[in-house]
């Protein structure tokens, strides 16, 4: 019985452990719904207010439509799961859209929120989308 107790305890510990959920693919997250920018920072300066009212719809064909309520802009997006990065390119003369149009690295991916960063650029940047 003394030898059986440790084995039973180990079985209980390993049996109760759950495998963490794998991060869902970025495409399945982004193409499900409409998104807004809930955070945009450069060198720890918060510029999120510049994106108030902007809405982003990411399409399965790797296009993105962006609207601020009066104007609509088109662009493209792409992901590289092996490199864990995301690229967005929006055709616009709007400074706000130019600021976010480049390569981003995945930091956090959930079904309601995606957070990207780029600490290889100067200035360092963070970009977060939240589902509406």
Which residues form the domain of 49? 25-131
* pLDDT score recorded for residue 79: 95
CATH number at residue 66: 2.40.128.270
Q: Confirm if 75 and 54 have CB atoms less than 8 A apart.
A: no
127 domain-assigned: yes
5 domain-assigned: no
* pLDDT score recorded for residue 5: 47
* pLDDT score recorded for residue 123: 81
Residues of the chain whose pLDDT is less than 70? 1-23
67 domain-assigned: yes
95 domain-assigned: yes
- pTM, 2 dp: 0.81
Consecutive H or E run containing 46: strand 45-46
């Amino acid at each position: 019985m003394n030898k059986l107790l440790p084995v039973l305890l180990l079985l209980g510990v390993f049996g109760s452990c759950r495998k963490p959920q794998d991060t869902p693919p970025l495409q399945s997250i982004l193409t499900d719904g409409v998104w807004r920018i809930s955070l945009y920072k450069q060198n720890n300066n918060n510029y999120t207010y510049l994106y108030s009212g902007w809405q982003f719809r990411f399409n399965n064909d790797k296009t993105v439509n962006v609207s601020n309520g009066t104007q609509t802009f088109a662009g493209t997006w792409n992901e590289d799961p092996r490199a864990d990065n995301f690229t967005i390119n929006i055709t616009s003369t709007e400074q706000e859209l130019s600021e976010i149009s480049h390569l981003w690295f995945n930091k956090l991916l959930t079904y309601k929120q995606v957070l990207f960063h780029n600490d290889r650029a100067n200035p360092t940047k963070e970009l977060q989308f939240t589902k509406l």
